[in-house]
Amino acid sequence: MFTQPIATLRHDGGSLVVLDQAQLPWRTVEHRLATLEDVAEAISAMRVRGAPLIGCVAAFGVAVALAGEAGDDAALDHALAVLRATRPTAVNLAWALNRMDACLRPLSPATRCEAAWVEAEAIRAEDAAMCEAIGAHGLGLLRALRVREGRALRVMTHCNAGWLATAGMGTALAPVYAACAEGLEVEVFVSETRPRNQGLLTAWELAAAGIRHTLIADNAAGLLLMRGEADAVIVGADRIAANGDTANKVGTYLKALAAHAAGVPFYIAAPASTFDPRTPYGEAIPVEERTADEVLFIDGLDGEGCPRRLRLVPEGIRAVNPAFDVTPAALVSGFITERGVFGIEGLAGFLQDVQV
Ligand code: MRU
């Protein structure tokens, strides 16, 4: 079983301690969340990020909110509403909060807080197990690709769907970790993922694990795919609609188009909690619009090694910042889930089986 080098979240007394991803890859700092407002801020400011992790943290957020409260319906409704409003695209958030609601609502107010910790812990443990299963199923896929190629396997990914984005070993990177643990030679192309550069988180993870990787500018992906320099693209997801259209970090769609044009398989790795049968197709997925400052400014280290934020463009230039895009199901070669790998034809059966 994969052990996270640093826990993305841990429960400590009546509060939650998370690894502050807003400070990575420059500083490794934990951040304590002692109130509902702390938890909501951590999710919306992306101190914690990645669809599965957001769901886990939101679940614990309900427990944090009910600690020291009467635990009545008003307190529960308030906690759920505040957490639900933090980020709109990753359906894992709503999924986890609906599950907390269904578990806690029938209970007496006095017992809800204790039950909330237990249920949140169950969600966390299930997420870790789902990641492990995604890794095992994805490993089968990578083995098959490698047999055909007979050399190091080159996987391209986007954003960060590694252990940082979950309570376990990640989704898109889980097959890579599983393959490396088995001794398969894998190289990962990591795209920067402007504007927030979550690709740097992926590079940081892979470097720590000793896995060969190469950082590329987002705009280089098309050329590499066209030249056949990647054998497969594997990305995570924030919400998969009933028809298989998939929302993921902005820039994913362009990779899917380029992979399709180049005949390179394009896989989505995600647990059942990322599938949303209530959203019929991609256009119905809410796409988060974040502040333009994320485009206008960039974070890095100065000459002394101190974290700094730099303005990239002169004052007065307008920017828009959609945080996600939607890849049509037709561009997806397969979904790597905890139940196995399937194409679009297997989606209806999967949704029926897991009943999310
Ligand atoms: O905005 P973020 O960093 O939370 O977006 C993350 C992604 O888009 C990931 O690819 C997705 O959540 C899957 S994480 C296992």
Ligand 1 centre distance from Cα of residue 271 (Å): 13
Query: Per residue in 190-204, pLDDT tens?
Result: 999 999 999 999 999
Whether 141 is in the pocket of ligand 1, judged by its Cβ within 6 Å, is no
Are residues 17 and 57 in contact, defined by beta-carbon separation less than 8 angstroms? Answer: no
Whether 61 is in the pocket of ligand 1, judged by its Cβ within 6 Å, is no
Whether 52 is in the pocket of ligand 1, judged by its Cβ within 6 Å, is yes
Ligand 1 centre distance from Cα of residue 322 (Å): 13
Structure tokens at 98: 């609906």
**Residue nearest to ligand 1 atom 15, measured at CA:** 161
Whether 49 is in the pocket of ligand 1, judged by its Cβ within 6 Å, is yes
Residue-level pLDDT, tens digit, the chain, 356 residues: 999 999 999 999 889 999 999 999 999 999 999 999 999 999 999 999 999 999 999 999 999 999 988 899 999 999 999 999 999 999 999 999 999 999 999 999 999 999 999 999 999 999 999 999 999 999 999 999 977 767 899 999 999 999 999 999 999 999 999 999 999 999 999 999 999 999 999 999 999 999 999 999 999 999 999 999 999 999 999 999 999 999 999 999 999 999 999 999 999 999 999 999 999 999 999 999 999 999 999 999 999 999 999 999 999 999 999 999 999 999 999 999 999 999 999 999 999 999 77
Strand-pair category, 186-191 with 239-241: unpaired
Burial 272-305 (b: 16+ CB within 10 A, else e): bbbbbbebeebeebebbebeeebbbeeeeeeeee
What mean pLDDT value characterizes the chain? 97
Ordered strands of the 232-235 beta sheet: 213-216, 186-191, 153-158, 232-235, 266-269, 334-337, 340-342
Are residues 233 and 255 in contact, defined by beta-carbon separation less than 8 angstroms? Answer: yes
Q: If you search the block for the tokens 């409704």, which residue do you land on? A: 77
Ligand 1 centre distance from Cα of residue 108 (Å): 36
Please tell me the pTM assigned to this model. 0.97
Verify whether residue 238 is a known catalytic residue.
yes
